[in-house]
Amino acid sequence: MQEKSAITRTIETAAGVHAPGHLGELTQIVDFTLVDAVLEETGAREKRLRLLPARVVVYFTLALALFGHCSYRATWGKLTAALGQLAPVCPAASSLARARRRVGAAPLRRLFEILAGPVAGPSQAGSFYRGLRTVALDGTHLHAPDDEQVTWRYPKRSGDVLEFGYPLVRLLVVVECGTRAVLAACFGPENQGEVPYAQRLLGCLDRSMLLLADAGFDAVEFLRQVGATGAQFLVRSSARRRPAIQRRLPDGSYLARLCGVYRASEGYRALPVRVIEAWITVTLADGTTRREPWRLVTSLVDHERYPAGELVALYHRRWQVETTYFSIKVAMLDGRVLRSRSVAGLDQEVYALLTVYQALIRTAADAAASRPGLVMERISFTILLQTARDQVTTATGILPPEPVALVGAIGRAVLNDLLPAERRQRVKARSRKNPTSKYGPNAGKHPQQAQTYTLEVQIQIMDHGLASRRRR
């Protein structure tokens, strides 16, 4: 007789028709009480108990974001795989689609708003600069289905004769550097510029923060609005500006005043700033060298407390927001088009993606907090995501254990397989994968393979201005 091993598990979940409504261990972040309160607040709770209650539908929608590669029925199968007789129904895809429409986008939006926010403690490396919490702002695009119910709101790009590509959803987020937690997000059609969207995100800033942003956000009025929140800013400026030098500073930077738009009652309102101009030389491992001038504009005018060299190095943390988009678009969506074929469905889906992403980051923050001195950048998002998916399939950790533990299965998995402590400086391989990309003129100008590099910074005032950046 062959030897055998037997394992008996006890699965604890909600009772009755609510049993399939869970997100594995992430349910401890997005718990039953929170979901019920959000449904009540947004008026989305059902008036009679259905076989697909609103709470279950919210968790199903979140699971769709977690399992972006799965169909409706396959995702439902993930939620109920370990439940056995506890799962009372096996709905058709059409029933699940109708249930999503019935719940709407408002509960998912409110869930994200509750979970959004910084997670770094005062000792978290990479999240603070001289007492200021560093946050980054930037935008990206998500592809939506090519459907008439979508294109009226999210149009495709158009040339002189034809429209082309997928409908595009413009997404902007403010991210905490070091942890990549999302503080705020907004999205809408691409035909509206990034700055109007960014203005809707300024409510998440306060006087404890330093905002990092690219050259697309150097508009004077926008920077003035950032300053009105109490936050400081460090923004890359475009070559079109020609700021007049008011006072040269010992570290190679200078003070200047940027003129805003003319207003009849106020004239040209000038914004006092400090300008840092520098030559950036990047030498790749294969010997390729790229040298270009940079100009940074900042409200940190004290050159002794905030040296120019430190601010140039600090600005590179802005790429934390690009890493966030990579986690959402590549790790979670795997480059796929959003699945919803209605505007309300797209809104619901994007908020579900952001909610699940933020729940994962909060789980990672709890894991990092259990090990003092651990830098959150060493936590692999891939392991975080895969382990969270496993906990859904096995229905593990739905309810918190007694006594409550800060680190669960997801936390243990990421702590057991941390990224290297000293990570090499590498440039990412960049190639144009989308034939409709606006970055076509840059084809062949970036390395096709990831390479290490060395960076040299030379602070130098450009008395004759900056050369224009190549058109993209």
What pLDDT, in 10s, does the model give residues 209-223? 999 999 889 999 999
- 128 in any annotated domain: no
- 16 in any annotated domain: yes
- 408 in any annotated domain: yes
**pLDDT tens, residue by residue, 73-101:** 999 999 999 888 888 788 999 999 999 99
N-terminal to C-terminal alpha carbon distance within the chain: 71
Check residue 135 and give its pLDDT. Answer: 98
- 398 in any annotated domain: yes
Check residue 472 and give its pLDDT. Answer: 43
- 213 in any annotated domain: no
- 48 in any annotated domain: yes
List, for the chain, all residue ranges whose pLDDT scores fall below the cut of 70.
1, 159-162, 261-267, 424, 426, 428-445, 464-465, 467-472
| Residues 6 or more apart in contact with residue 126 via CB below 8 angstroms | 134, 177, 178, 317, 375, 376, 377
**pLDDT tens, residue by residue, 178-198:** 999 999 999 999 888 899 999
Q: Specify the 3-state DSSP secondary structure of 270.
A: strand
Check residue 265 and give its pLDDT. Answer: 66
- 440 in any annotated domain: no
- 338 in any annotated domain: no
Closest CA to 427 of 280, 332, 295, 319: 319
Check residue 470 and give its pLDDT. Answer: 52
Give the Cα separation of 80 and 72 in Å (integer). 13
- Give strand pairing partners of 255: 247, 274
Q: Find the domain containing 406 and state its range.
A: 8-114+383-420
Tokens of 374: 């651990």
Check residue 471 and give its pLDDT. Answer: 45
How many domains does the chain contain in total?
Answer: 1
Check residue 255 and give its pLDDT. Answer: 95
Closest CA to 142 of 168, 180, 116: 168
User: In residues, how long is the chain?
Assistant: 472
CB atoms within 10 A of CB 2: 3
Check residue 1 and give its pLDDT. Answer: 54
446 phi-psi bin (left φ>0, alpha ψ -120 to 50, beta other): beta
Task: Report yes or no: 357 and 332 within 8 Å, Cβ to Cβ.
Answer: yes
CB atoms within 10 A of CB 464: 6
